[in-house]
A and B are shown apart, each in its own frame.
Chain A
Amino acid sequence: MSDRRLDLPQGTLDLLILKTVALGPLHGWAIAQRIQQLSRDALQIQQGSLYPALHRLERRGWVKSKWGASENNRRARYYELTPAGGKRLAAEEVGWERLVAAVSEVLGTV
């Protein structure tokens, strides 16, 4: 198991989480796995960052949590996007694209 870890600034992690749960409720473990999957293993979110981020997002009202049964019938806490979270996600995506475009300009991308 490779141990590459990209250091994510805080805002980006929020964005990734919001995007991940946008499609449906997931519990913490599944969120981490999904992000890892979708980034083709480039991003491995550590528990130490994930859970504080989830709790922070919940406090801001962008996700809401619910206890439910997981795939193997254990109790797990599921997070899903709220309408406010959806708006935030949209805003963040736009912001991210702008940031990427700007940095690419500076770097003179291929």
Chain B
Amino acid sequence: MESELSEELQFHFERQVEVFIEQGCPPDEARRRARLLFGGLEQVKEECRDARGISFLDTLWQDLPYAARLLAKTPGFAATAVLSMAVGVGSSTLASWLLGQAAFRSLPVKAPEQLVAFRSPGPHLGFCSGAGGSDSTCFSYAMYRDLRDRNTVFSGVLARSGLPANLTFRQRTERVSLELVSWNYFELLGVEPAVGRLFSPGDDGKPDALRVAVLSHEYWARRFAGDPAVVGQRIVLNSLQVTIAGVSARGLHSLIPGRSPDVLVPIEIEETLLPVYPMLSSRAYSAMNIVGRLKPGIARQRAQAELAPVYQQLIEEEARAVPASWPDRERFLSRRLELIPARRGIEPDVDGMLVSLSAIAACVLIAACANLAGLCLARAAARQKEIAIRAALGAGRGRIARQLLAEFLLPAVAGGLLGLLIALGVAGAVPGILFDQQRARTLSSAPDPGVLLLILAVPVLTAILFGAAPALLPALGRPLRALNTGNIAQLGLGQASFRKALVAAQVTLSVGLMFGAFSFSRNLLKERMWRQGPGKENAIAFTIDAGASGYYSPQAARLFQRLEQRLSTMPGARGVGFWAGGMSRFEVEGRRLETPEENASFWFQVSPGWFGAAGCSVVEGRDFGPEREWPPRAVVVNETLKRRLFAGHSPVGKRVRLYGLNRWAEVVGVVREEGSPDFFSRLPSVYYPYSGATTVVYYVRTDRPPEHLLSAVKGLVEREARGAPSYDLKTIDAQYAEGSRSQRVMTAVLCAFGLLTMALAVVGVYGVTAYVVTRRTPEIGVRMALGATAGGVLSMVMKEVGWMIASGAVAGVLLTTIGCGLLFPAGGGPEWGKEYPALAAGTIVVAAAAALAGFLAALRAARIEPTTALRGE
């Protein structure tokens, strides 16, 4: 560009010289005259450049070093700006990455847009197992087979379910996550084997076909170190010997997003896998998710319409087997089959936590951009005279704007790159911190190009919108207009209101984040404080699934008792007990219980040692004693149930019955759980003697820090319970930690980012107030000369500060309220009645901090000497 211009002008110059020489001038003279004629070469070049409208980037290239030098003069501000941008961009990048994966990534299978998931909301016959997905996507195996065989619209229909199991390999047993899949699973999805072979439809019906398993790629890499020699090895799943047929290729985890199974087995294996609970053949056991691949050219709606009569017929057939008195019969018959697109899996992977984290990251980014914009405006304000002079000397508006833009872009880009680098560095570890293990594994893939664009676009666009625009707009118009009217003092007053608006926005964001921080912190503290009660900390819990390993009920009972005895003699153990159970519907004699709150409670079968270990004391009536009968004759309830169901009157003597049983049990006592795990006492519970469950949870109270006893317990269980490993072996504290993981993460994030945003707002308030004071120094001087006190001046300045903070705080309260309403529609999140204190606290803290900063800046106003003020400018 430059050299071409020079060359062109040089050519012209040479020709002119030639003309002069032709006319008889000596060469030197010719050159001199030509040079005179030419005028200022540089000026011509400059005008040409202007006429040409030189590209944006070229000027930027000149402006950047200048901007850099300016920034270097104020390292404090520069550091703040760069760091806050880094945090903003970094966290936004991570949030975009995670959200992008969860929201946009298609399943890594063949033609995912052809896949549809079956969905049918409504009541179920019998059990609906949590195999994955919600109740409405669970079907019985029989229903799957019927739909598979009676349709004309699918090129294939597969089913899947999930199950935990005990896996033994070379004497070591561990708990794994199984995925039960139909024979056509791999073929229909187009999944290839990494080594060995996978299931195929041809295996169906073959004699030994059931005794095979396929390892997931992730499990193979983790447990078998990616050794290809695993093919053909034998493993024991529960008590069943199977052979490893192969390993599936990397990519697909499960059709349920967030699930990362370890081993895949054919569905039919379930009956042999769980000898104690064979449920596959029953229509009353819905544990399958169904996914179909539409034939090419068939639309989803058409397939749904074609399947509707088939499904209707099947439902009616099923309903015939149910007694006419079933209350949900009508609703069951009105179930409809929906086909929902399943390109991303059976259910969406985006949950409230991801969305919240993204919102928080966005807030921080906006705050950082606003901060930077404010700083740039401050600079521009400080250099008004210089800008005005430049404008007078002929610098175009565009030129000035470009230079200011460079000053904004330099720290923005520097901070952004820094943030990006940090984000890339920690990206591997982040899913593990935020989510549980299985989900973390599914979220760790490298971003594909589409997601990458989103990742980069989001922070960049936000930065431009919230940073560059405010930085430029006010700085543009004023200098020139003011110069035209000759009113220098007018320069920059518009900037002040813009900056105030920016700071108010930062205050708004801070209020929102600090509210979140207070709210979550309060909840977390409540949990902690509650758990500091007596006996709650020193305990270990673990689960043992003996049924899976082939222990039938009497054997399991003997095993558990033996185990309990051995554990109680372990040094350090103060009490041992075990329990099993869950939520059940039940009846109370003589009462009609309508609502789910009333007619469902927790029924726990507990070992004799359990009350002692858990620290329960009988406060009314008696314990149920050593009787052991099923159905139980005597039960004990806790105080929560007494409160809920009997309004505080004594329930002793009343009779209750589990739904479906034919014998009533009498309530013989009421217990209070003082030392038991949290959830026991919060829920209305009925306790009855242990009656043969094969999966129980042990509770071991210790008289010393429980961490020391973990390995001893584990070893003892392994010795005593052959093939039935303990799992989820943790101290009680650790169990809570796991359960409250997402809460702790959110609290940490909110506190950190809330404080950061608040700090940015505080800095902003200080800067703007100081600026306003400087601007109005002459006016203040006059006022003081005319008799205004320091206090009066102070209050005048504070009024401006007050407006800024107040408007920001009010907007913050409003937006937070609306935002929470949107993010957590009724029932999903914090109850509003309890959250007002947190909102107030957040607002007050932010407002106070900002006011303090403003006050400190305003003090400068009070210290103004009238004479100096009036003299200077």
Tell me which residues across on chain A come within 8 A of B49, comparing CB atoms.
Answer: 55
Interface residues of B in 44-81 (CB under 8 A from A): 44, 47-53
- For A77, give the chain B residue with the smallest CB separation: B8
Report if A70-B44 is in contact (Cβ < 8 Å); known contacts: A47-B39, A59-B51, A77-B4. no
Tell me which residues across on chain A come within 8 A of B39, comparing CB atoms.
Answer: 46-48
Task: Count chain A CB atoms within 10 A of each CB in B15, B16, B23, B40 and give the residue with the most.
Answer: B15
- For B43, give the chain A residue with the smallest CB separation: A48
Report if A56-B8 is in contact (Cβ < 8 Å); known contacts: A46-B37, A47-B38, A51-B44. no
Distance between B367 CB and nearest chain A CB, rounded to angstroms: 41
A55 touches B52 (CB 8 A): yes
Q: How far is the CA of A25 from the CA of B193 in the complex (A)?
A: 69
Tell yes or no: B11 within 8 A of A by CB: yes
Distance between B6 CB and nearest chain A CB, rounded to angstroms: 11
Tell me which residues across on chain B come within 8 A of A46, comparing CB atoms.
Answer: 37, 39
Distance between B30 CB and nearest chain A CB, rounded to angstroms: 12
Tell yes or no: A75 within 8 A of B by CB: yes
Interface residues of A in 14-55 (CB under 8 A from B): 27-29, 32, 46-48, 51-53, 55
B48 touches A29 (CB 8 A): no
Task: Count chain B CB atoms within 10 A of each CB in A27, A51, A74, A75 and give the residue with the most.
Answer: A51
- For A1, give the chain B residue with the smallest CB separation: B23
A28 touches B8 (CB 8 A): yes
Q: How large is the interface on A (under 10, 10 to 19, 20 to 34, 35 or more residues)?
A: 20 to 34
- For A51, give the chain B residue with the smallest CB separation: B48
A52 touches B9 (CB 8 A): no
Distance between A46 CB and nearest chain B CB, rounded to angstroms: 7
Q: Is the interface of A mostly helix, strand, loop or mixed?
A: helix
A29 touches B15 (CB 8 A): yes
Tell yes or no: B12 within 8 A of A by CB: yes
Tell me which residues across on chain A come within 8 A of B8, comparing CB atoms.
Answer: 28, 51, 76-77
Q: Which of A27, A52, A58, A59 lies in contact with B11, CB distance below 8 A?
A: A27
B11 touches A29 (CB 8 A): yes
- For B53, give the chain A residue with the smallest CB separation: A59
A48 touches B4 (CB 8 A): no
Tell me which residues across on chain B come within 8 A of A32, comparing CB atoms.
Answer: 12
B44 touches A28 (CB 8 A): no
Tell me which residues across on chain B come within 8 A of A67, comparing CB atoms.
Answer: 4
Distance between B521 CB and nearest chain A CB, rounded to angstroms: 61
B14 touches A52 (CB 8 A): no
Q: How far is the CA of A58 from the CA of B48 in the complex (A)?
A: 11
B48 touches A74 (CB 8 A): no
- For B34, give the chain A residue with the smallest CB separation: A47
B38 touches A76 (CB 8 A): no
Report if A28-B53 is in contact (Cβ < 8 Å); known contacts: A47-B38, A52-B44. no
Tell me which residues across on chain B come within 8 A of A77, comparing CB atoms.
Answer: 4, 7-8, 11
A52 touches B12 (CB 8 A): no
Distance between A1 CB and nearest chain B CB, rounded to angstroms: 7
Q: How far is the CA of A57 from the CA of B33 in the complex (A)?
A: 28
Q: How far is the CA of A48 from the CA of B50 in the complex (A)?
A: 13
Task: Count chain B CB atoms within 10 A of each CB in A29, A58, A67 and give the residue with the most.
Answer: A29
Report if A56-B12 is in contact (Cβ < 8 Å); known contacts: A48-B39, A77-B4. no
Tell me which residues across on chain A come within 8 A of B37, comparing CB atoms.
Answer: 46-47
Distance between B40 CB and nearest chain A CB, rounded to angstroms: 8
Tell me which residues across on chain A come within 8 A of B7, comparing CB atoms.
Answer: 75, 77
Given A32-B12, A52-B48, A59-B53; 16 other pairs, CB 8 A cutoff: A1-B23, A47-B9, A47-B12, A47-B38, A48-B40, A48-B43, A51-B8, A51-B44, A51-B48, A52-B44, A55-B51, A56-B51, A56-B52, A58-B52, A59-B51, A77-B7
- Pick 5 A–B contacts, CB within 8 A, sort by A: A51-B44, A55-B48, A56-B51, A59-B51, A67-B4
Residues of A within 8 A of B (CB): 1, 27-29, 32, 46-48, 51-53, 55-56, 58-59, 67, 70, 74-77
Residues of B within 8 A of A (CB): 4, 7-9, 11-16, 23, 37-40, 43-44, 47-53
